[in-house]
Amino acid sequence: MKSYDAHHLRNVAILGHAGSGKTSLAECMLYESEEIPRRGSIEERTTTSDFHEIEHERQASVFASPLVAEWRDYKINIIDTPGYADYIGEVVSSMRVVDTSIMVVAANHGVEVGTEALWKYTERFRTPVMFVVNKVDHEHADFWRSVDQIHDRFGREAVVVQYPLVQGAGFNTIVDVLTMTAYVFPPHGGKPEKMAIPEQELERANRLHNELVEIVAENDETLMDHYLERGNLDVEEMRQGLTLSLIKRQIFPIFCVSAKLDMGAGRIMSFIDIVVPAPVEMPAVATMGGTMLTADPTGKPCIFVYRSSSEANTGDMSYFRVYSGTITHGMDLVNEQTGVTERIGQLYVMNGKKRIEVPQLEAGDLGATVKLKNTHVNNTLHEKGLNLVLPAIDFPAPKVRTAVVLAKNGEEDKLGMALHHLQEEDPTLIVEHAADLHQIILHGQGDMHLQAAKHRLASRFKLDVNFVPARIPYQETIRRSINTEYRHKKQTGGAGQFAEVHMRVEPYVEGMGAPEQLQVRGTEVHDLPWGGKLVYCNCIVGGVIDQRFMPAILKGVMEKMQEGPITGSHVRDIRVSVFDGKMHPVDSSEAAFKTAGRMAFKEAFIKADPMLLEPIYTVDITVPEELTGDVMSDLPLRRGMIEGVDVEGHYQRIKVLMPLAELDTYATVLRSMTQGRASYTSAFSVYQQVPSQLQQKLHADYVAHAQEEA
Ligand SMILES: Nc1nc2c(ncn2[C@@H]2O[C@H](COP(=O)(O)OP(=O)(O)O)[C@@H](O)[C@H]2O)c(=O)[nH]1
Ligand SMILES: [Mg+2]
């Protein structure tokens, strides 16, 4: 494949609700541009884009697939993205490096939840958008209803460029009101015959044509002048005007296709070539230091890595966009984040699992190379001597979690490495080695996302794992002050153990006074790694406990703070004052005092009105108006505390505080309650008291399992 410059490159991402036909459309584009000899289908599991086993099993895309089509004098880089919200990470990283979004809407369903969610991302990334209404051959296709919904949800800037002459089974003609031509397709699709628009359609076609011309003219003063003078715009003026309006998001043209019948993809590619902005026409990209990068092939070489993958088919690859300069095989580039110099080996463009070697990649292009050793997603690489960092992709925070356990022991190291790999490839998958919970926890975007990770562990890394519920990181504290004494005495064979400790255990609050009626000789304040404090006061008088045993007592207390008496959870916000005790001239030792310290603390804690705390999250739920009532009335059942409701277009946003214990199942609950039409984000907020009944139950469970000996 030859090298293309930034005037002859186009970068598009195909977006849309799951099942709208993105992968099928991409397949048509590859087939029509003769990139592939045969058109694959979802049903036969033969598309270029969905080549992973899991995608075949599910008959749906899981990964974003970089593809490439050469159409006339242009190279179109296409990233086919998955539609399910669970794989949003793949969409976000793709959108970061393309210029234009193609939003596919299925004519039989119209605007769906996914369409709306993805629309928000096009706003965030400020990409031009083309709508493609697919499946106009479908028996329930309603192109005009889809257009109405697009207008309603995304504004009047969405304008019809094409419409089907007849929908459903009889579909074979597209009326194009930009070229004012009817494209009539042969029964098996492909190349259409250009015909005059039928007489009876002319009125509608002319009206739509004029609407299109007017909106283009409105967006540019010079064009408006010409339009007013002549009552029309010539072809070149229309092209210029459309490109400018697309860039400024003042127009969202609507096209129609049947990907199933291969009717319409060619015309979409021609529009992409001629009208959709080239990388050079897009606004310059600012680096973190404020340097502006334009798609200049003679500029300083600079690339940004947006994706990394490890495939049996292709090997490990790093995917990047060239933001400036020209990248050639064998070039040395400095990774600004890791400081390492990487030699770029072979350069490729990808068509699904097929790698096509290219001699060079110019500014504005997308490409791949064999995985660079010390380079990760979000890294910027550039020529030596520069100092450029492109802004990182802002991946959405995880929504669900599960604990991972190996089906068989002995593969712990392998699992650790495999999980590291998965996280490297997919930054929306977060691996947490939760030492306090004794679990490895996987955080992801949804159940399907986690299941895909499990599938990948099995297929790519030959690791069999099970998912079990993630434990809740409860915390324990007390509400009352208690004095206690504990004597540890043991005679085992010759040597004995002896230590007696008297301590006061109190709830710690910021700014509290010194321990009453005790003489404080020293105070240590320990910030606990899990939050909260332990304050340790030495109140020993007359040397009843030797100074050298004081740290041992603290150690014992700390041991119990790590694994609290109520549920084995971390303990926080405690003041311990050791004020009396006894030693034995021979049998006292650090070990004995440590045990005495631990046991004294435990006994005091249990008597000091202990309280269990649980993590509470702020949950921000977005739900279609008509479902708000259902969602709101369900929240109290999940111990949700509603904080407020806001209106956002056709949606309502409910802000609610919810315990993590409930949130863990909420993704599934909300999906089934709203057929997937609601979504949420969540973030840790505070620790709050667990209801006493639940505390009693958790304590009983813990006591039944835990055994402790002094
Ligand atoms: N009737 C009809 N079905 C289509 C069309 N395009 C795709 N499909 C079917 O819709 C389903 C989803 O297609 P796919 O390309 O995987 O959608 P994606 O999830 O958006 O990538 C598959 O069963 C396709 O065969 C079309 O133009 N007409
Ligand atoms: Mg797909």
The 3 state secondary structure assigned to 290-340 is: CCEECCCCCCCCEEEEEEEEEECCCEEEEEEEEEECEEECCCEEEECCCCC
- pLDDT bin (cut points 50, 70, 90) of residue 710 is low
Tokens standing for 438?
Answer: 């004794």
Average pLDDT over residues 604-620: 96
Banded model confidence at residue 1, pLDDT cuts 50, 70, 90? confident
Q: How far is the CA of 236 from the centre of ligand 2 (A)?
A: 35
Please report, for residues 173, 184, 186, 208, 430, the alpha-carbon distance to residue 192 in angstroms, rounded to integers and kept in the order given.
9, 5, 7, 22, 48
Between 314 and 199, the higher pLDDT residue: 199
Give the global pTM: 0.88
Residue 471: pLDDT band by 50, 70, 90 thresholds? very high
- pLDDT, residue 491, reads 83
Confidence of residue 463 (pLDDT cuts 50, 70, 90): very high
The whole-number average pLDDT for the span 307-320 is 85
Q: Which atom of ligand 1 is nearest to the CA of 261?
A: 27
pLDDT of residue 707: 66
Instruction: Sort strands 129-134 and 252-256 into parallel, antiparallel or unpaired.
Output: parallel
How far is the first Cα of the chain from the last one, in angstroms, to the nearest whole number?
75
Strand partners, 170: none
pLDDT digits (tens, 9 = 90+) for 556-578: 999 999 999 999 999 999 999 99
pLDDT confidence band for 709 (50 / 70 / 90): low
Residue 708 above 70 pLDDT? no
266-287: pLDDT as tens digits: 999 999 999 999 999 999 999 9
Is the pLDDT assigned to residue 235 strictly greater than 90?
A: no
Question: Ligand 1: does its nearest atom lie under 6 Å from the Cβ of 101?
Answer: no
What local confidence, expressed as pLDDT, does residue 311 receive? Answer: 77
Which of these ranges, 173-182, 524-533, 645-654, has the smallest mean pLDDT?
645-654
Q: For ligand 1, atom 4, which residue shows the shortest CA distance?
A: 260
Residue 560 in contact with ligand 1 by CB distance below 6 A: no
Whether ligand 1 lies within 6 angstroms of the CB of 61 is answered as: yes
Rounded mean pLDDT, 320-348: 95
Using the mean position of ligand 1's atoms as its centre, give its distance from the Cα of residue 105 in Å.
11
* Predicted pLDDT at 26: 98
Evaluate: CB of 42 within 6 angstroms of ligand 1. Answer: yes
Q: Which atom of ligand 1 is nearest to the CA of 24?
A: 15
HSE (CB half, 13 Å, CA atoms) of 453? 34
Residue 586, exposed/middle/buried by CB under 10 A (0-12, 13-18, 19+)?
Answer: exposed
Q: Give the number of whichever ligand sits closest to the CA of residue 20.
A: 1
Using the Cα atoms of residue 457, residue 459, residue 460 and residue 463 in order, give the sign of their dihedral. Answer: positive
pLDDT digits (tens, 9 = 90+) for 669-700: 998 999 888 989 999 999 999 999 999 999 99
The residue-averaged pLDDT of 395-399 equals 92
Reported as a single tens digit per residue, the pLDDT across 579-599 is 999 999 999 999 999 999 999
- The percentage of residues in the chain with a pLDDT greater than 70, rounded to a whole number, is 99
Is the CB of 167 inside a 6 Å radius of any atom of ligand 1?
A: no
Cα 418 to ligand 2 centroid, rounded to whole Å: 26
Q: Which pLDDT belongs to residue 310?
A: 82
Please name the residue ranges forming H helices in 164-234.
202-218, 221-230
Residue 437: which pLDDT band, with cuts at 50, 70 and 90? confident
pLDDT bracket for residue 74 (50, 70, 90): very high
Average pLDDT value for residue range 439-445: 96
Please check whether residue 143 is in contact with residue 163, taking contact to mean a CB–CB distance below 8 angstroms: yes
Q: Does the C-beta of 19 come closer than 6 Å to ligand 1?
A: yes
> What average pLDDT does this structure show over 41-63?
91
* pLDDT of 219 strictly over 90: no
pLDDT of residue 416: 95
The token pair at 704 is 């039944």
| Mean per-residue pLDDT, 409-426 | 93
Residue among 90, 109, 260 to mutate when testing ligand 1 (max atoms within 8 A of CB)? 260
- Sign of the CA dihedral 32, 34, 36, 39? positive
Using the mean position of ligand 1's atoms as its centre, give its distance from the Cα of residue 29 in Å: 14
Any atom of ligand 1 within 6 Å of the Cβ of 258: yes
Q: Which residues, other chains included, contact 575 with Cβ-Cβ below 8 Å and sequence gap of 6+?
A: 504, 505, 506, 507, 508, 512, 515, 534, 535, 536, 537
Domains of the chain: 9-168+251-281 (3.40.50.300), 285-382 (2.40.30.10), 400-471 (3.30.70.870), 476-608 (3.30.230.10), 612-694 (3.30.70.240)
